[in-house]
């Protein structure tokens, strides 16, 4: 059975370019096409919704508002952490990224916003929070997912034999 268009439960291979304020932030030119399982929230909702129904070879420009992308910028999403709590080998510098685990064991990325001798000011906003995202996307292949991919809700990279 050949798949004609992007729909829930279809693995989509796409070329893409992400532009924010006229600056290209990400594109498939470097990493190669992106594969994702449609309908499972593998990519931001604003882009996924717009790609439904696209056919192989079709391309489009999609503008995604913050609420359908990486969220609005949250003025509350900052935290002061004593420098003593950082690992000795962590290089504290503005923009440095670290993974923080909260009380519930959830991992979150945080970025060093500023720091002084005693305290590090962390920003938990996604770097693209509040940004309007401009995508150029082109569908280059569609396929059915494997049973395992459907079971896990995302694409398995590589030859599919890893367990």
**What domains sit in the chain, N to C, each tagged with a CATH number?**
11-70+130-152 (3.10.50.40), 78-123 (2.40.10)
8 A C-beta contact, residue 70 and residue 64: no
Helix (H, G, I), strand (E, B) or coil at 85: helix
- How distant is the alpha carbon of residue 19 from its chain centre? 14
Q: Tens place of pLDDT for every residue, the chain, 163 residues?
A: 689 999 999 999 999 999 999 999 999 998 899 999 999 999 999 999 999 999 999 999 999 999 999 999 999 999 999 999 988 888 899 999 998 887 888 888 899 999 999 999 999 999 999 999 999 999 999 999 999 999 999 998 754 444 3
Of the candidates 135, 156, 138, 136, the residue with the CA atom closest to the CA atom of residue 11: 156
Bridge partners, residue 98, by sequence: 110
In the numeric block, which tokens belong to residue 162?
Answer: 């890893």
| Structure-token pair, residue 21 | 């304020």
Q: Are 92 and 83 in contact (CB under 8 A)?
A: yes
């Amino acid at each position: 059975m050949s798949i004609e268009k992007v729909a829930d439960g279809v693995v989509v291979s796409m070329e893409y370019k992400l532009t924010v304020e006229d600056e290209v932030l990400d594109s498939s030119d470097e990493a190669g096409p992106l594969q994702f399982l449609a309908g499972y929230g593998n990519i931001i909702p604003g882009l996924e919704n717009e790609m439904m129904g696209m056919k192989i070879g079709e391309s489009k420009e999609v503008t995604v508002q913050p609420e359908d992308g990486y969220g609005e910028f949250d003025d509350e999403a900052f935290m002061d952490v004593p420098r003593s709590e950082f690992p000795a080998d962590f290089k504290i510098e503005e923009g440095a990224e670290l993974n923080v685990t909260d009380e519930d064991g959830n991992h979150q990325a945080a970025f060093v916003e500023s720091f002084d001798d005693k305290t590090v000011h962390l920003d938990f906003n996604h770097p693209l929070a509040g940004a309007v995202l401009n995508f150029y996307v082109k569908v280059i292949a569609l396929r059915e997912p494997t049973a395992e991919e459907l079971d896990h809700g995302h694409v398995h990279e590589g030859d599919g034999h890893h367990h």
